[in-house]
Amino acid sequence: MAQREQWGSRTGFVLAAVGSAIGLGNIWRFPYMAYENGGGAFLIPYIFALLTAGIPFMILEFGMGQKFRGSAPKVFRALGEKWEWLGWMQVIVALVISIYYVAVIGWTINYTGFALNTSWGADPKAFFFGDYLGLSKSPLALGGIRWSILAACTLAWAITWLAITSGVRKGIERACKILIPLLFVLVLVLIARVVNLPGAMTGLNYLFHPDFSKLADFSVWADAYGQIFFSLSIGFSIMLAYSSYLPKDSDINNNAAMTVFINCGFSLLAGIMIFAVLGNMANATGQDVADVAGAGVGLAFITIPAAINTMPAPVFVGTLFFLCLTMAGVSSHISIVEAVCSSFIDKFGISRKRTATLVCAFGYVMTLVFTTGSGLLILDIVDHFINNLCILGLALAEILLLSYIVGLDDINSHVNAISDFKVGTAWRLCLKLVTVAVLGYTFVMNIVTDLGTPYGGYAQSDLALLGWSLLPVAFVLALAVSRRQAAYGFVRQN
């Protein structure tokens, strides 16, 4: 029986898991989510979600990956031959994410260069949509390839390929041991710089001043749980793959708690960084912080460049900010692609180098679509449906299967036997009741909302082609792959 690759150290594994969890969402989604949902008061449902869903789900995923020593399809097949397709669905969703996520990393790489001479000029919005993206009018009017974006995406795919082909210990672990500490240092340096700027405290007051009346609104709690799920990389095969490389006697529960706490702590630091910058911008332009606050692509590539324009030494802050985004994105991208590669390696017994080359080459070709003039529009639709439908649906299916069909007793005994602190009834109730209820509610509400109002004002045909079709297509493909005879059955490893 072959020996499965293993992490070189506990630090290496935790840094890799943290690197996977910390992504662009921590920097551009959490701060606005907190601000919109009661400011400081949002921390109460957020911490509650962290304790009742984030840590329990992470323990579950780490425990399953480590117990069955395999990627998602192998884990689900171990639970029952008929469930392998669920693992492949998670892998296909991960593959789709890896294809469009790299486009955003490409933008951050380009903007790191632009920040050196504030190339976006006095009107960052016109620059981003016009000069840089050459935005098309509709998702299917592709326009030409934007060569600077393609070059940056090539670099991002090359880094990921290099990390994965070099192996778990020499590639992924080594990359994360450099990227993650550096990311924290850069964010702390940035915070030290921006909190001293005029208006920064006003920005922080907007972020942390609590509006406790919002806690009575159920949607605030749903948003808190959603933020925890989206930011932890759970429910779509990544943490299963990473934990499958843990030694047999690893401490599952503490590693899971550590990963979740560090990820959420980083989100808080990112919130301080972003709102200090926004406060300074509001102060410089005579606006209210509420007028400049935003999230996502608009925040990162329009508002922040505009804020950087108003700062002393814009090159310093701009370069560091986009470097942070790039590092957060690259470490997450490596984990997403590894989840895909490890599944094919497990099932078909192909070498790591060959698998990584095939997956990265396929992903790279598909990424070309996102480097065109309509890249942002397609990305917007695909990302919306992947997050709101696919990831939520698959996480819900996973938790329902584990909680009500397979049962949690075995995995509970397994993690307790090898962990420093134990989990029991509370852990099972959090998964069976709290997590299922919140995921189920959010999943149904998302479907109802999207059926009622076409997302983003796009044409129904575009939404059907690029959004609604994702889940059924993934299901058919997953079923097809799961029914294929594996080369040697699933590769058995110690």
Residue numbers at the binding site for other proteins (CB under 8 A): 7, 9-10, 13, 39-41, 43, 47, 50, 201, 204-205, 207-210, 246-247, 249-251, 254-255, 257-258, 261-262, 264-265, 267-268, 272, 420-421
Helix ranges restricted to H, 29-146: 30-36, 43-49, 55-68, 72-79, 84-114, 124-126
- Is 47 or 400 the residue whose CB approaches other proteins more closely? 47
Side-chain half-sphere CA neighbours of 80 within 13 A? 9
Please, are residues 398 and 128 in contact by the beta-carbon 8 Å criterion? Answer: no
Least distance from other proteins to the Cβ atom of residue 27, Å: 15
**Helices H / strands E in the chain, number of each:** 26, 0
Of 202 and 285, nearer to other proteins (C-beta) is 202
Q: Which is nearer to other proteins, 46 or 321 (CB)?
A: 46
Q: How far apart are CA 85 and CA 168, in angstroms?
A: 25
Q: How far is the CB of 116 from other proteins (least distance, A)?
A: 33
Please say which residue, 41 or 93, places its beta carbon nearer to other proteins: 41
Q: What is the DSSP letter of 3?
A: P
When the beta carbons of 188 and 365 are compared against other proteins, the nearer one is 188
Residue 149 Cβ, how far from other proteins at the closest point, in Å? 35
Which residues, including other chains, have CB under 8 Å from residue 25's CB and lie 6 or more apart? 227, 230, 231
Least distance CB 445 / other proteins (angstroms): 27
Q: Output 11 or 219, the one with its CB closest to other proteins.
A: 11
Supply the minimum distance, in Å, between the C-beta of residue 23 and other proteins.
Answer: 17
Cα–Cα distance list, 157 to 75, 154, 236 (Å)? 27, 5, 20
* Identity of the residue, 250 or 482, whose beta carbon is nearer to other proteins in the bound complex: 250
What residue type is assigned to position 416 of the chain?
N
Distance CA 243, CA 75 (A): 11
| CA dihedral of residues 252, 33, 372, 138 (deg, nearest 10) | 130
- The phi-psi region of residue 456 (left if phi > 0; otherwise alpha if psi is between -120 and 50; otherwise beta) is left
Decide whether 40 or 143 has the Cβ nearer to other proteins. 40
* Packed helices 409-418 and 55-68: angle between N→C axes, nearest 10 degrees: 90
Please tell me the distance from the alpha carbon of residue 238 to that of residue 257, in angstroms, as a whole number: 17
Compute the least distance from the CB of residue 201 to other proteins, in Å: 5
| 289-292 own/partner pairs: CB under 8 Å, 24+ apart | 289/202, 289/203, 289/206, 290/206
The position carrying tokens 């070309």 is 368
The number of beta carbons lying within 10 Å of the beta carbon of residue 477 is 16
Q: How many CB atoms lie within 10 A of CB 384?
A: 18
How far apart are CB 289 and other proteins at their closest, in Å?
Answer: 13
Closer residue to other proteins in complex, CB, 48/348: 48
Closest residue by Cα to residue 207 from 225, 190, 195: 195
Q: How far is the CB of 494 from other proteins (least distance, A)?
A: 15
Strand partners for 145:
372
Question: How far apart are CB 259 and other proteins at their closest, in Å?
Answer: 9
* Degrees, nearest 5: CA angle 340-343-347: 150
Whichever of 69 and 384 has its CB closer to other proteins, that residue is: 69
Residue 103 CB, nearest distance to other proteins (Å)?
A: 30
Length of the chain as a residue count: 494
User: Whose Cβ is closer to other proteins: residue 248's or residue 484's?
Assistant: 248
Closest residue by Cα to residue 50 from 233, 269, 214, 227: 227
Please say which residue, 412 or 419, places its beta carbon nearer to other proteins: 419
Pick from 119, 73, 64, 472: which is nearest to 252 by CA?
64
The CB-of-30 to other proteins minimum distance in angstroms stands at: 11
CB of 470 to other proteins, least distance (A): 33
What angle is formed at CA 77 by the lines to CA 70 and CA 466, rounded to 5 degrees? 90
